[in-house]
Amino acid sequence: MTVATGARRAASPALERYEAVIGIEVHCQPKTASKLFCRCRADYDGAPPNSLVCPVCLGLPGVLPVLNRRAVEHVLRVGLAIGATIPAVTRWDRKNYFYPDLPKGYQISQYQIPLAADGRLVVETSEGPLTVRIRRAHLEEDTAKLVHADLDGRAVSLVDFNRSGAPLMEIVTEPDIRTAEGARRYAEELQLLLRTIGASDADMERGQLRVEANVSVRPRGSTELGTRIEIKNMNSFRSVERAIAHEIERQVAALEAGEPLRQETRGWDENRGLTYVMRVKESEDDYRYFPEPDLPPLRIDPAWLEAIRTELPELPAARRARYRDVLGLPPADAAVIVGDLEATALFETLLAAGSPPKAAANWVTGEYLRHRKGGSVPAERLAPARLGPELARLIALVEAGRLTLANAKAILAAHLEGGEAVETLAAGYERIDDAAAIERIVDEVLAANPAAVADVRSGKDQAVRFLVGQVMKATRGQANAARAEAAIRSRLGQADGAQGPTGPAAADQGPTDPAAADPGAEPSP
Amino acid sequence: MSGIRPAPSGADEELTRLGVGELGALLRRGEVTATQVALAHLERAERQNRALNAWLHLDREAALTAAGEADRRLAEARRSGSEALAACHPLLGIPVGLKDLVSVRGGPCTAGSRILAGYRAPYDAHITERLRAVGAVILGKTNMDEFAMGSSTEHSAYGPTANPWALDRVPGGSSGGSAAAVAAYHVPAAIGTDTGGSIRQPASLCGIVGLKPTYGRVSRYGIVAFASSLDQIGPFGRSVADAAVLLHAVAGRDERDSTSAPVSVPDELLALPDDGGAADWLRGRRLALPREYFVPGMEPGVEARVREAVAALEAAGAVIEEVSLPHTEYGLASYYIVAPAEASANLARYDGVRFGPRLGDGRDYVADYKRTRGEGFGAEVKRRIMLGTYALSAGYYDAYYLKAQKVRTLIKADFDRVFAAGFEAIVAPTSPTVAFPLGAKLADPVAMYLSDACTLPVNMAGLPGLSVPCGLSEGLPVGLQLIGPPWSELTLLRLGRAYEAITADAPWRRLEPSDLAALDDPATPTPAERLALARAAAAATA
Amino acid sequence: MAALSRADVEHVAHLARLGLSEDELSRLETELNHILEQYAVLARLDTDVIPPTAQTIELENILRDDEPGPSLPVTDVLANAADVADDFIVVPAILAAPDATGR
């Protein structure tokens, strides 16, 4: 505690003289229905304790493992997605150690020949693109869960074997990362990749994605590696960044103070904002790896690999590039859409239905995300397969000039609230473009608002906006605002043009709408 | 014990002298019931187990339930006609014993160890399911060296088993309980496991037939593991045909064992040739005699019986040629690295957390682990865990474990060469000695390990091996080992059947184990008492 | 090959989580060294170019479909455990992370 606060105070000037070297180890749960080596269900999250357990995952005498094909294919998918080398033949190894969460006293894992090796992932950081080399990705079985408890005054640990034997993919980078932000960005990008290819739901809160970091610091310019410290218990992307930033400061402060660093494992305490010692490594672990005799080797036939490759969807990096370079989306919009699988699915549905990319992107990044984050819309109404066709219809009506943007948004809100079809809702919102109809309404408005008319005549141009607003109000927003304004000016003997920064578009677009910044949002009449 | 339990005489006791085929014929004809057969065997086993200690658990209730079910199935088949009767598996209604490392749902499974005291398996092993499916009557669980580590059954935490041929001698091991039970007519057939000779060597020492199938032939699912790449499950019987029938019932692919091979199990196992046909089949068969198997330390009487058996096969028309298996001498050392290494991992699960007794004060899990394991395992098991852990540990892996796996390649290649040269089988001794006295080798682990010198190379190569009785030396049984290429069990059994046929008239075939009568004598010491006496005598001379 | 010292025997016993008495440690030191002497025979063989054999059966790609099946009833999962509470298996409080260093 005192070290940490001291470090924080002393660090800032010294930090500049050091460079951090960071490697990330991610464990994620491949998306399978059953466990890795037995047929118990793998959706252990929230299940009653010890309810998803069989002799195999309980490690009873006499049991044997049988490998889940889908779990293997998920790792192959990841390997292909990161451009890794896939071995022609791989096998399984036993990693031996004793711990109450490890029922057999060994973990079936991969040691010598991982399913994927030498891949890479490029991530965007505030300092530009960062290429992170991925040393290996392999498959292993998960351990049971230990819960610490007090049992009638006795400190105990409770073991729940539901997670025991669930598949686990370990993805280890080279120490290529130099900043806490880079580490967070790598973890985020990896999560996106895993979700995009369907290999894992990779939900950190549910333990499907666990991030550990190896952090060392060294004086800038040095090529030697400092004492490596492992950080665990980082339960969100934010805590990954905070924990590593803190750890870099702590290590630098220690070195500046002449204190030696020990090779150790530290835990991140989110509440206190510091890392604490979990385990000091006095000597190297001796896991006594040897080939698992209960499982035959796995030959990865080129045809098998090719079939998996063919089924891979477009990967996030390629998708961002396409949205940016081919569809002409601003990079920020492309990143927002690609970073969100549901948004991507909706966007692709809109494109497939013929919506113009920029308009579609505006609707997705604006209204769609706003409604989704608002949390009041039932999830099924936001499902891309259901919402897509409706939203595409809505965009088409706007594009055809039959709906104002404001009314289109109101229709979307009504559709999401009540579920009524866009077509039906739009019937009451057709835009009034007809000159005679608009002039009739303008006349009524002018007659009812003599004070404003006088203001306009005396040169107070903002009174025009008031009158346009009254026209819109009278038509429940259906009037073509530009034509209404033109009619008002013409009736009051004013020339068109002097509209200033608050032109007619302001009536259509709320000031907080990000789409307002994009001229592509409103079709020109 | 209160007084003498009279040895029942008459028809029911005589049933125990019959083999699987004969009992099956009586059952199908309805001349006896499976319940009668089960009771006859149960009563003999219960009565004699004090003096033999072949059984760790006899489950009378479960056996009689299974026998009653077999009787219903037999009655129904009889009503349905001869085809339905013929479709019944020959094991229907036949009592069998299981080595106490085979999981039987709801029953004990100690693997001969204190560390599994009180454990009840919540599931059936694959072979248990198969035996239930064919209607075999499981009488109980047999004694064994702890975790199948040993060659004498003296390493059982539940006391040693005696050899029915000489109650002061070992039955061999580790499947000594099964072998002794079959030899003493407690069951016509039993299941054992063989990691380095644990079926063949006790079969040899007890004068019965024992088969170690090809690795992958019988599913290991539900069998307590010793060394996963070497363990195989196999049958004991008093005749080759009986062993073949039991193999047929338990062999075949099981999707729960990834090393269980998708190789079909021939139905010919149920119809081995009769004496005439078997002898005819033998003519012209090429058999190899490996010179390295007549090892130093082999007893002259054993070598004599084996060479006589080879001569008999040759006289009956087999073509015998001497061959070399040059890496045989490296078998022992490499085996005693590979097997303990695998065992050190397989036995890590015995930690007192999920099953078995837990020792310690509950304050520190590492301390509790050490006490649970230190007191739960016997000396031989701890020795092998230590050896295996050391062989895999950092800095020694290459020198020991990896080296042993490379030598394993050479041992396997030796066998491959012989079979590639057209030999159908290798004939060799099973054990270099006859049954040795209780306690004789307990003080010297290496001497005990040498008991398996002729059998463990077969496990290292994953091959099938059959041991058949081939006479007596100093009044004790000698075994002839027949080794074949992968999946050649049928050939080995035909060969064994042929050897039975050509020696059918040999005087030794008519001899029963010499100490059977003493098993019914309440004054007979228990095997544990005999071992204690032997140890006391050894201590006095030392 | 190098002989095992008493400290080596203690180290291996710790790696294997075997609590051994002083007598057992002494006896094992003698026995293990005797057995290791028998292993010396292997050093005579040149195995540099020989591939290791880990399994004798020539099987590959034994995989199962990802189809869930039944688990055991909770009572069966807990039935053999020495210490149980609220459908959990109870062990001494675990404060330290796993350690496989043998020290």
Termini Cα distance of chain A:
65
Minimum CA–CA partner of C49 in chain B: B406
- Report the half-sphere exposure of C38 (CA within 13 A, side-chain side): 21
Between CA A361 and CA A347 the distance in angstroms is: 7
CB B225, CB B147: distance < 8 Å: no
DSSP assignments along B180-197, one per residue: HHHHTTS-SEEEEEESSS
CB A192, CB A81: distance < 8 Å: no
Average pLDDT over residues B468-494: 98
- Angle made by CA atoms A312, A314, A319, in degrees to the nearest 5: 165
Between CA A345 and CA A386 the distance in angstroms is: 11
- Angle made by CA atoms A148, A153, A158, in degrees to the nearest 5: 25
What is the pLDDT, as a whole number, of residue B64?
A: 98
* Gap from B406 CA to chain A (nearest CA, Å): 13
| Chain C interface, best mutation among A158, A276, A277, A289, by max C CB count within 10 A | A158
pLDDT in tens, A241-251: 999 999 999 99
ipTM: 0.96
What is the pLDDT, as a whole number, of residue C2?
A: 63
Amino acid at B411: I
Cis amide leading into B178 (omega within 30): no
pLDDT in tens, A509-520: 333 333 333 333
Between CA A481 and CA B260 the distance in angstroms is: 78
Q: How confident is the model at residue B445 (pLDDT cuts 50, 70, 90)?
A: confident
DSSP assignments along B388-439, one per residue: HHHHHSTTTTIIIIIHHHHHHHHHHHHHHHHHHTT-SEEEEES-SSSPPBTT
Interstrand relation of A290-291 and B55-58 (parallel, antiparallel or unpaired): unpaired
The closest alpha carbon to C6, from B446, B378, B403, B386, belongs to: B386
Q: B445 or B211, which is more confident?
A: B211
A366 pLDDT above the threshold of 60: yes
B266 pLDDT above the threshold of 60: yes
What is the pLDDT, as a whole number, of residue C97?
A: 66
Nearest by CB to residue A293, choosing from B222, B342, B351, is B342
Residues 6+ apart with CB under 8 A from B311: none
The closest alpha carbon to A229, from A218, A239, A238, belongs to: A218
CB A65, CB A103: distance < 8 Å: no
Nearest by CB to residue A98, choosing from B111, B259, B369, is B369
pLDDT in tens, A442-455: 988 999 999 988 88
With b meaning 16 or more CB within 10 Å and e meaning fewer, what string describes A123-159? bebeeeebebebbbbbbbbbbbbbeeeeeeeeebbbb
User: Cβ of B256 and A284 within 8 Å?
Assistant: no
CB A342, CB A384: distance < 8 Å: yes
User: Cβ of C102 and A33 within 8 Å?
Assistant: no
User: Cβ of C82 and B358 within 8 Å?
Assistant: yes
User: In this structure, is the dihedral angle defined by the CA atoms of residues B65, B67, B70 and B72, taken in order, positive or negative?
Assistant: negative
pLDDT in tens, C39-74: 999 999 999 999 999 999 889 999 999 999 999 999
A498 pLDDT above the threshold of 90: no
Question: Of A266-270, A406-410, B40-44, B300-304, which gets the smallest average pLDDT?
Answer: A406-410
Minimum CA–CA partner of C59 in chain A: A296
C25 touches chain B (CB under 8 A): no
C45 touches chain B (CB under 8 A): yes
Between CA B429 and CA B302 the distance in angstroms is: 8
Average pLDDT over residues C28-45: 93
Residue B370 annotated as catalytic: no
Average pLDDT over residues A139-145: 97
Give the Å distances, CA to CA, from A220 to A13, A16, A18, A248, A252.
14, 8, 5, 13, 12
What is the pLDDT, as a whole number, of residue A477?
A: 77
Q: Looking at chain B from residue 318 to 347, which residues have their Cβ under 8 Å from any Cβ of chain C?
A: 327, 329-330, 332-334, 336-337, 344
User: Cβ of A96 and B348 within 8 Å?
Assistant: yes
What is the pLDDT, as a whole number, of residue A388?
A: 94
Average pLDDT over residues A154-170: 97
* Gap from A271 CA to chain C (nearest CA, Å): 20
B395 pLDDT above the threshold of 50: yes
What is the pLDDT, as a whole number, of residue A438?
A: 86
Average pLDDT over residues A255-265: 92
Burial of B243 (0-12, 13-18, 19+ CB in 10 A): buried
Give the Å distances, CA to CA, from C80 to A142, A160, B119, B220.
22, 15, 6, 22
User: Cβ of C71 and A72 within 8 Å?
Assistant: no
φ, ψ for residue A109, nearest 5 deg: -145, -170
Average pLDDT over residues B320-331: 97
Nearest by CB to residue B461, choosing from C13, C54, C56, is C56
Q: How far is CA A101 from the centre of its chain?
A: 31
Minimum CA–CA partner of A293 in chain B: B229
- Identify any residues that bridge with B469 across adjacent strands, giving them in sequence order: B479
Q: Looking at chain B from residue 55 to 74, which residues have their Cβ under 8 Å from any Cβ of chain C?
A: none
Q: How confident is the model at residue A3 (pLDDT cuts 50, 70, 90)?
A: very low
The DSSP 8-state label assigned to residue B351 in this structure reads S
What is the pLDDT, as a whole number, of residue A74?
A: 98
A443 touches chain B (CB under 8 A): no
A137 pLDDT above the threshold of 50: yes
CB B1, CB B75: distance < 8 Å: no
What is the pLDDT, as a whole number, of residue B8?
A: 53
Q: Mean pLDDT score of chain A, rounded to an integer? A: 89
| Strand, coil or helix: A124 | strand
The closest alpha carbon to B482, from B282, B272, B321, B288, belongs to: B288
User: Cβ of A159 and C90 within 8 Å?
Assistant: yes
Between CA A230 and CA A243 the distance in angstroms is: 11
φ, ψ for residue B183, nearest 5 deg: -65, -30
- Identify any residues that bridge with B409 across adjacent strands, giving them in sequence order: none
Q: How confident is the model at residue A261 (pLDDT cuts 50, 70, 90)?
A: very high
Q: Which residue has the tokens 């080995």?
A: B492
Q: How confident is the model at residue C101 (pLDDT cuts 50, 70, 90)?
A: low
Specify whether domain C6-44 bears CATH 1.10.20: yes
φ, ψ for residue A487, nearest 5 deg: -65, -40
Neighbours of chain A (3+ CB pairs under 8 A): B, C
Nearest by CB to residue A64, choosing from B221, B369, B394, is B221
CB A446, CB A488: distance < 8 Å: yes
B497 pLDDT above the threshold of 80: yes
H/E stretch holding B43 reads: helix B34-52
Q: How confident is the model at residue A435 (pLDDT cuts 50, 70, 90)?
A: confident
What is the pLDDT, as a whole number, of residue A407?
A: 85
Q: Which residue has the tokens 């007090």?
A: A150
Q: Mean pLDDT score of chain B, rounded to an integer? A: 96
Q: Which residues of C touch A34 (CB under 8 A)?
A: 66-69
| Strand, coil or helix: A386 | helix
What is the pLDDT, as a whole number, of residue B519?
A: 97
Considering B103, B156, B174, B204, which one is annotated as catalytic?
Answer: B174
Taking every pair of Cα atoms in chain B, the longest distance, rounded to a whole number of angstroms, is 71
φ, ψ for residue C16, nearest 5 deg: -90, 5
Residues 6+ apart with CB under 8 A from A508: A404, A405, A406, A481, A522
Neighbours of chain B (3+ CB pairs under 8 A): A, C
What is the pLDDT, as a whole number, of residue A495?
A: 56
10 Å Cβ neighbour count for A462?
11
Q: B143 or A472, which is more confident?
A: B143
Q: How confident is the model at residue A396 (pLDDT cuts 50, 70, 90)?
A: very high
User: Cβ of C42 and B377 within 8 Å?
Assistant: no
Considering B175, B198, B431, B467, which one is annotated as catalytic?
Answer: B198
Average pLDDT over residues A323-335: 95
What is the pLDDT, as a whole number, of residue A428?
A: 73
What is the pLDDT, as a whole number, of residue A418?
A: 87
The closest alpha carbon to B465, from B95, B168, B159, B209, belongs to: B209
Average pLDDT over residues A98-111: 97
* Domains by residue range for chain B, with CATH: 12-328+409-533 (3.90.1300.10)
Q: Which residues of B touch C45 (CB under 8 A)?
A: 327, 330, 406-407, 410
Q: In what order do the strands lie in the sheet with A154-160?
A: A145-151, A154-160, C88-92, C84-85
With b meaning 16 or more CB within 10 Å and e meaning fewer, what string describes B286-306? ebbbbebbbbeebbebbbebb
* Domains by residue range for chain A, with CATH: 2-291 (no CATH), 314-429 (no CATH), 435-521 (1.10.10.410)
A299 pLDDT above the threshold of 70: yes
Q: Where are the domains of chain C?
A: 6-44
Q: How confident is the model at residue A426 (pLDDT cuts 50, 70, 90)?
A: confident
CB C81, CB B354: distance < 8 Å: yes
* Gap from A225 CA to chain B (nearest CA, Å): 24
Q: Looking at chain A from residue 292 to 321, which residues have their Cβ under 8 Å from any Cβ of chain B?
A: 293-296
